[in-house]
Structure 1
Amino acid sequence: MYNDEKNLYHYTYRKDGSESGHEPQAEAQPSVDDQLRAFQDQNGPQRPIQEMKPVKKNRMGLKITALALCCALLGGAVGGGVAWGISRSGSGTSINVSSRPATTVSINKVDGKTEMSDAEVYAATVNSVVSIRTSATSGTNFFGQAVETASAGSGFVLTADGYIVTNYHVVKDADTVTVTMYNGDEYNALYVGGDEDYDIAVIKVEATGLPAVTLGDSSTLNVGDHVLAIGNPLGELTFSMSGGMVSSVNRTINVDGTPFNMIQTDASINPGNSGGPLMNSYGEVVGIVSAKYSSYSDESVEGLGFAIPINDVYAMIEDIMTNGYVTNKPYLGIFGGSMTEQMAAQYRYDISEGVFVYSVEEGSAAEKAGLQMGDVITKVDDTDISTMEDLTAVKKQYSAGDTVTFTVYRQGETITLSLTWDATPADTAANENQDQTVQDNSQYGGYDPYDLFDYFFGGGR
């Protein structure tokens, strides 16, 4: 109980409130009613108070309580260690381990009818995928020594006798090309031919009995279809598979001035994947992966990859295998460039869009159709032409021998011309990039194309 002495409180265990060490003699205690009446007489009426019954002491209980409290404190300090010891040594401790046997993956034949799991597609096709390493010489250094460069890509076996498909940019300008199969076999490959406008190339190894892929129909792809890519990401993570869905079909993208029709996918595609196969859930190759186009304007992207539809290039691949280049690739025979507002204002043209014809090659399809220097091509059939890229893109819709209608602006008037596409000459195919924007003035003896325009049509700059 508490005693009040000069407003200081002292605690004592004694019933009478004294702090003496001597036990007082027992005195008769008044009843509770007597105490209440006496208290009321001294202090006036008060609120009722609850009767307090005396508590019988149990010293053994206090000892047990104190012991329990000490154990609790000790347990809090070393609880972690105690729990660890119990989990390690307790007789009731057990670890659940699955007894499920390993899944057996069937190696199926790709027949175009059997839909497979991702693991089954990998097992059925990985032996047809190859890792490609190239080396090349790129100029000389400060000391005049040749600078060696190396790169890596992917590809896939098209025929059992060693024809392999990849991207043009993977093997372009390579001095050596080395192919590694999934089983570790290595071959030196020979460059057969390619096409930069479609970014396809064919290489050949001396081997027989190679496991070839099965080509599918890329025109049957729908947005949301599941697709898989196997390749050599980063040049060292060989024979990796990534999966995703078709994000878009017939997606037109423009890379370095060259338009491409692509399959867009969210499957992970990285440098080194270039040239590898894009497969559907039946294990058929529906596209050629192009990691070069998985970035835009030097910006890294995520969940965005592209593949060339196999239907767009299959005939060209066969052409390359036979002739070393695409023989039926359409050829116009001009040097041209995109029309600009500056040119329109300077030379008093009524239009500011289209392809301006700087020169026409003698004997070409353009000359036969009547195209002239200074003409502006504004339409091919029903497709509007605003830039040189538009003309390059529309050419991919035709083959040599096809006849089209050109709409041309000439000296303030709009005329139409009938043109039959020529086939790309073999020497031009080897050099690539015909009928493109004027960039190198050496084509014109070092003269600026604007100066040539001035020479033939007058005016100044």
Structure 2
Amino acid sequence: MNDMTEYSNHETRKTIRKRRYHPVLNMLLCGVIGTACGLGGGWFAVTHLGSASTVVYQSAETAPSVQTNVNNTDGTMTISEAASKASPSVVEIIVEGTVTNYGIFGGTYTSTGAGSGVIISETGYIITNNHVVKDTNKITVTTYDGKEYEAQLVGTDAKTDIAVIKITAPDLIPAVVGDSSKISQGDTAIVIGNPLGTLGGTVTNGVISAVSRELVIENESMNLIQTDATINSGNSGGGLFDGNGNLIGIVNAKDSGTTSSGASIEGIGFAIPINTAMDVASQLMESGRVTNRATLGVYLDELTRSTQHYKAGLYITDIIHGSGAEAAGLAAYDRIISVDGTEVSSYTDLSRIMRDKKIGETITLKIERDGTEMDVQVTLTGTLDTSTEQG
């Protein structure tokens, strides 16, 4: 389920049918390699929130890693040294879920998948991707020393594709967290993860190809680090490290396949900047959800083409109690035309605008209601508890 406290693509009982916005390019979330035990297939579900005080390790102030060679003589780390420093903090993740198949060979089956994660505290907190662990019944973590532990889901955030899980284990080695705002194009990039779900601890290296690439993944607009270090399915949730072995990103996607002209796409992978990832992770560890994100407080559906009764566009389907949208008088079936003068026709358009808004900020929505356009002032709130909002 998407984060309904903000503005969600949410299955509705009304007549507007939900249509998903599909990303441009062949963007693949590279986190979960899955198999189904039986004839079913699909992904997973459980929410077990928890919080505790924790120590997150930050990197010491260092110069940018620039280019790290296999054998350096200038006192900087080699690829091998950086990988040796970072590898003990990277874990393998296996997930299991229950899948119901309603076809002719229907039934209930166990589905499994695999991804990666990075230890961020000695107390057992592990950062990974939302798409790796969402909708799961069981999460098993294998640490660098080969030991297995059952993990609990602490919290997830679909908008940033970040999740936190927790294990109870001795002698954990957290990653040294770097500063993704200090990386530069051409710097060394090292990816460590569990490609194909069977090759845990795999190290690949390359360079930072771009420090901030805006992409649309699963309807969400994200600014990601681009790298040419090899990334495969199963790597999601694993670490992107700099040439000093400091964690600078959480791997979450790759571009794969061919262009419209038939050219092969290679060497294009992406990671969530660690500054973004750790901001979200710290909130998940504290409260199980993101608390500092500005929200409208509506449920949304996107109509991709006009019908007899509705124009194409982004429609409000319901209002969350206590939200700025409720206070402003927004209603179901309002079509959002623009936000602060910027045209909006899709969930992705709104996501891109809302990403930079702050709690308490007042925005101007131009909406259409019953054929009449009007401007509505909405003061944004933080995330709201929707546990009793919808059945």
Q: Settle same-fold status: TM greater than 0.5.
A: yes
Question: Whose helix proportion is higher, 1 or 2?
Answer: 1
Whole-angstrom CA distance in 2 between matches of 1:396 and 1:237: 36
For the residues of structure 2 that align with 1:372 and 1:159, how far apart are their CA atoms?
44
1:336 aligns with 2:300: yes
1:131 to 82, 86, 92: 92
Residue 237 to residue 388, structure 1, CA distance change in 2 (3 Å): same
Alignment equivalent of 1:389, drawn from 348, 356, 370? 348
Higher RCO (C-alpha 8 Å, min separation 6): 2
| C-alpha distance in 1 between matches for 2:85 and 2:321 | 53
Contact 2:306–2:312 (Cα < 8 Å) also in 1: no
Aligned counterpart, 1:370: 329
2:163 partner amino acid:
A
In the aligned structure 1, how far is the partner of 2:389 from the partner of 2:84?
A: 38
Q: Work out which of the two has the higher radius of gyration on C-alpha atoms and give 1 or 2.
A: 1
**Cα deviation 1:78-112 (Å, max 9, x = unaligned):** xxxxxxxxxxxxxxxxxxxxxxxxxxxxxxx9634
- Which residue does 1:327 correspond to in 2? 291
Whole-angstrom CA distance in 2 between matches of 1:171 and 1:429: 24
1:309 corresponds in structure 2 to 273
CA contact (8 A) 2:119 2:127 kept: yes
In the alignment, is the contact (CA less than 8 A) between 2:249 and 2:277 conserved in 1? no
1:416, distance to aligned residue in structure 2 (A): 3.4
Provide Cα deviations, 1:381-409, integer angstroms capped at 9, x if missing partner. Answer: 35432322211232222344333332334
Correspondence for 2:129 among 167, 177, 182: 167
Aligned equivalents of 1:233 and 1:384: distance in 2? 40
Which of 139, 143, 158 does residue 196 from structure 1 map onto? 158
Counterpart CA distance in 2 for 1:328 and 1:376 is 27
Query: Alpha-carbon deviation of 1:324?
Result: 1.3
Equivalent of residue 214 in structure 1, options 176, 181, 187? 176
1:226 Cα offset (Å) = 1.9
Are the equivalent residues in 1 in contact too, given 2:92–2:194 (CA < 8 A)?
A: yes
Structure 1 letter corresponding to 2:185: V
Among 207, 218, 239, the residue aligned to 1:256? 218
Q: Alpha-carbon deviation of 1:335?
A: 3.2
Q: Which residue does the alignment assign to 1:227?
A: 189
For 2:229 and 2:389, locate their aligned partners in 1 and report how far apart those are by CA, in whole Å.
34
Matches within 5 A, 1:240-319: 240-291=202-253, 293-295=254-256, 301-319=265-283
Report the alpha carbon displacement of residue 143 of structure 1 after superposing the two structures with TM: 7.4
> In the comparison of the two structures, how many residue pairs are matched?
318
Does the alignment pair 1:419 with 2:368? no
Matched letter for residue 134 of structure 1:
V
Q: What secondary structure does 2:306 align onto? A: helix
Correspondence 1:90-129 to 2 at 5 A: 111-113=60-62, 115-129=76-90
Partner Cα separation in structure 2 for residue 382 and residue 159 of structure 1: 44
Q: How much does 1:312 deviate?
A: 2.0
8 Å contact 1:378–1:409 — kept in the other structure? Answer: yes
Instruction: Check whether the contact 1:110–1:282 (CA below 8 A) recurs between aligned residues.
Output: no
Cα separation, partners in 2 of 1:228 and 1:112, compared to 1, 3 Å: farther
Does structure 1 conserve the Cα–Cα contact (< 8 Å) formed by 2:323 and 2:384?
A: no
Q: Secondary structure at the match of 1:331?
A: coil
Identity across matched positions, percent = 38
Give the letter aligned to residue 309 of structure 1: P
Aligned mates of 2:303, 2:141 — CA distance in 1: 45
Change (3 A) 1:179 1:346: closer
C-alpha deviation, 1:413, in angstroms: 6.2
Distance of 2:322 and 2:200 partners within structure 1: 50
Residue 367 of structure 1 aligns to a residue whose secondary structure is helix
Q: Which runs of 5+ in 2 are unaligned?
A: 1-57, 64-75
Q: Deviations over 1:307-339 (max 9, x none)?
A: 111222322211111111112333323333346
What's the CA shift for 1:369?
2.0
Displacement of 1:425 after TM fit? 2.7
- 8 Å CA contact 1:134, 1:177 repeated in 2: yes
What CA distance in whole angstroms lies between the structure 2 residues aligned with 1:157 and 1:249? 23
Aligned counterpart in structure 2 of residue 405 of structure 1, from 329, 349, 364:
364
> What SS does the corresponding residue of 1:111 show, helix, strand or coil?
coil
**What SS does structure 2 have at the residue aligned with 1:121?**
helix
1:263-302 CA-to-partner distances (Å, cap 9, x unmatched) read: 12111100110100111122221111014x4447999842
For structure 1, the 5+ residue unaligned runs are 1-108, 432-442, 444-461
Question: CA shift at 1:428, angstroms?
Answer: 5.3
Give, in whole Å, the separation in 1 of the partners of 2:98 and 2:333.
41
In structure 1, C-alpha distance between the alignment counterparts of 2:59 and 2:301, rounded to whole Å: 47
Structure having the higher strand fraction is: 2
Give the whole-Å Cα distance in 2 for the aligned partners of 1:296 and 1:259: 21
Structure-2 change in CA distance of 1:282 and 1:184 (3 Å): same
Seen in structure 2, the aligned counterparts of structure 1 residues 385 and 143 have a Cα distance that, compared at 3 Å, is: closer
CA drift at 1:340: 5.6
Distance verdict in 2 for CA 1:219–1:301, change over 3 Å: same
Q: Give the TM-score taking structure 2 as reference length.
A: 0.72
Name the CA shift for 1:179/1:362 in 2 (closer, same or farther; >3 Å): closer
Q: 1:116 & 1:188 partners in 2: Cα distance?
A: 34
* Counterpart-to-counterpart distance in 1, 2:129 and 2:115: 8
Shift of 1:129: 0.8
What displacement does 1:213 show?
Answer: 1.0
> Cα deviation per residue 1:338-381 (whole Å; 9 max; x = unaligned)?
466625x856xxxx675333444454311212324453323323
Task: Write the distance in 2 (CA, Å) between the matches of 1:425 and 1:412.
Answer: 31
